[in-house]
Amino acid sequence: MISQSFAQKALDTALSQGGDYAELFLEDTNSNSLSMQNGECDGASSSRRCGCGVRVLDGTRFIYTYTAGLNESDILAAAQAAADAMAQTAQTQSVRFEVRSFGAYPLKAAEDIDNAYRAKLLIDACRAGKGVSGSISQVKASVADVDQRVLICSSEGLFTRDRRVRTRIRVQAVASNGTDMQIGFAAPGAGCGYELFDRIDPAELGKTAADKALLMLSAPECPAGVFPVVIENGFGGVIFHEACGHSLETTSVAYGNSEFCGKLGQQIASPCVTAVDDGTLPGEWGSCCVDDEGTETQKNVLIENGVLKSYMSDIIGARKAGVPRTGNGRRQDYTFAPTSRMTNTYIAPGTDSRDEMIATMGDGLYALTMGGGSVNPLTGEFNFAVNEAYWVKNGKLHTPVRGASLIGKGGRVLMDIDRVSDNLALAAGVCGSSSGSVPTNVGQPCIRIKSIVIGGKGEKL
């Protein structure tokens, strides 16, 4: 994208009015998407996004500028604008770059895939979903791919190239009986090209989404109260991601906006809970070789046997909180300054049996698929919808239920987990925060929370 000599010139310009660190983030991203409704195309796009972000730090104060395109004169102008805004005592730094390159070429790259192939994937999903039942009124499906190439140069000597390739398919089915409607959803994704579909069958996704919608269409409303809850693996991990994960980012911790501030080395969860953020997992949706500051990603054990071991940090968060960098500095694109963000975050496998969890819980909820929700990182208070669930009566699955929600506080939930199974699974998602939307995996094995508030409109079952 640029030469080392020009990178040195741009960094010198950025530091010409002061600061102790400067960074260039150059990006060239190609994206494609295609969507269908009931097998008919209703949207298609293809785009290329290029630009450069320039950041100058002085301690924990920073200035961020950016420019569209990769023209050298525009990059220098952005660097000068950042320098002028810093307006401190000039710094002189001689940088010896360490050149590093990461990322792998996909087996089936997007540029080798035409829209006829993409269309067939979606037609298969739509037809299979519609074919499940006459009560399936609509099936929407989309496929999207992103091929992001970045170059990160810094006054610390980084000259790092990385390539991030991701592909995802989404299928949504709507079941209707004339007076009511319910939605089923499936959306796997991975850090790879279209080889994703060597192991994922769109037709099966269509059937899965339709089956979920039909199940919820005939289900009674969930009763409310305080009960034990068993949360299934995969997307069930959104509870930890939202209710606890954000509170372990230095974006919150460094500014005193987390319930876990100052608790390193303390017991904050049940002894059966170990939680990890790992950006190094090969081919996973939230993985990258280096973060958007050029720091290599790593496996970060956040909680070990219930004890808080580390936070997730970027450069500014590390400086402000006095903790090491962990490779969690991430951003949506060059128009955003990075901050600490999760990658692949999950509760580690345990040794308990899912069947035993349910059999010994008495009455309660088995949450098979979680939905969206809201959380306050400062207090940890959250409220999450449950998309697919079953009421458990006397330790046995009694009936599917709909309209369930889980209400609680992150710190309390961590302490109330009393069973962790061994069936770890991850699920793709997109997380929004101050540095934009980034791909993240959530995950966990099946877990049991011994007591939590369940919201619902139903009568006792």
Last residue of a domain, one of 160, 194, 217: 217
Identify whether residues 414 and 278 lie together within a single domain.
Answer: yes
Does residue 98 form part of some domain?
yes
Query: Residue 19, by phi and psi: left (phi above 0), alpha (psi -120 to 50) or beta?
Result: left
Q: How far is CA 430 from CA 147, 211, 241, in A?
A: 16, 24, 11
Identify whether residues 138 and 165 lie together within a single domain.
Answer: yes
Please state whether the predicted TM-score (pTM) of the whole model is above 0.75: yes
Residues in contact with 67: Cβ distance below 8 Å, sequence separation at least 6, in sequence order: 51, 52, 74, 75, 77, 78
Identify whether residues 353 and 414 lie together within a single domain.
Answer: yes
Length, in residues, of the chain = 461
Q: In angstroms, rounded to a whole number, what is the distance separating the alpha carbons of residues 367 and 361?
A: 13
Closest CA to 452 of 127, 189, 228: 228
Closest CA to 170 of 145, 150, 193, 134: 145
Does residue 447 form part of some domain?
yes
Positive/negative CA dihedral, 12, 18, 21, 23: negative
Count of domains forming the chain? 2
Strands 436-444 and 344-347, by their bridges, are parallel
Last residue of a domain, one of 217, 248, 281: 217
Q: In angstroms, rounded to a whole number, what is the distance separating the alpha carbons of residues 230 and 392?
A: 10
Could you give the angle at which helices 72-86 and 4-14 cross, rounded to 10 degrees?
Answer: 30
Identify whether residues 317 and 413 lie together within a single domain.
Answer: yes
Tens digit of each residue's pLDDT (9 = 90 or more) over 316-367: 999 999 999 999 999 999 999 999 999 999 999 999 999 999 999 999 999 9
Does residue 155 form part of some domain?
yes
Identify whether residues 320 and 385 lie together within a single domain.
Answer: yes
Tokens for 9, please give them. 């010139």
Identify whether residues 59 and 192 lie together within a single domain.
Answer: yes
Q: In angstroms, rounded to a whole number, what is the distance separating the alpha carbons of residues 260 and 265?
A: 11
Identify whether residues 362 and 229 lie together within a single domain.
Answer: yes
The H-or-E segment that residue 300 falls in is strand 299-304
Identify whether residues 258 and 204 lie together within a single domain.
Answer: no
Q: Residue type for 338, please? A: P
Closest CA to 120 of 30, 203, 31: 203
Closest CA to 433 of 279, 301, 328, 282: 328
Closest CA to 423 of 322, 346, 331, 309: 346
Does residue 270 form part of some domain?
yes
Tokens for 138, please give them. 């609509």
Dihedral, CA atoms, 173, 177, 182, 183, nearest 10 degrees?
0
pLDDT at 91: 60
Identify whether residues 165 and 246 lie together within a single domain.
Answer: no
Does residue 461 form part of some domain?
no
Identify whether residues 42 and 168 lie together within a single domain.
Answer: yes
Q: In angstroms, rounded to a whole number, what is the distance separating the alpha carbons of residues 91 and 156?
A: 13
Does residue 460 form part of some domain?
no
Tokens for 267, please give them. 């017991």
Count Cβ atoms below 10 Å from residue 398 Cβ, excluding itself: 14
Query: Is there a contact between 250 and 327 (Cβ–Cβ < 8 Å)?
Result: no
Does residue 132 form part of some domain?
yes
Identify whether residues 92 and 45 lie together within a single domain.
Answer: yes
Q: Residue type for 11, please? A: L
**CA 90 remoteness from chain centre:** 39
Closest CA to 230 of 368, 347, 424, 370: 368
Residue 416 has phi, psi (to 5 degrees) of -95, 0
Return the residue matching tokens 């059937």.
207
**DSSP codes joined into one string, 99-163:** EEE-----SS-GGG--HHHHHHHHHHHHHHHHTT-TTEEEEEEEEEEEEEEEEEEETTSEEEEEE
Collect the ranges in the chain with pLDDT lower than 70.
Answer: 88-94
Closest CA to 122 of 194, 205, 210: 205
Query: Is there a contact between 161 and 102 (Cβ–Cβ < 8 Å)?
Result: yes
Last residue of a domain, one of 217, 243, 265: 217
CATH number, position 51: 3.30.2290.10
Q: Residue type for 398, please? A: H
Residue 275 domain boundaries:
225-455
| Alpha helix ranges (H) inside 307-369 | 315-321, 354-359
Identify whether residues 229 and 305 lie together within a single domain.
Answer: yes
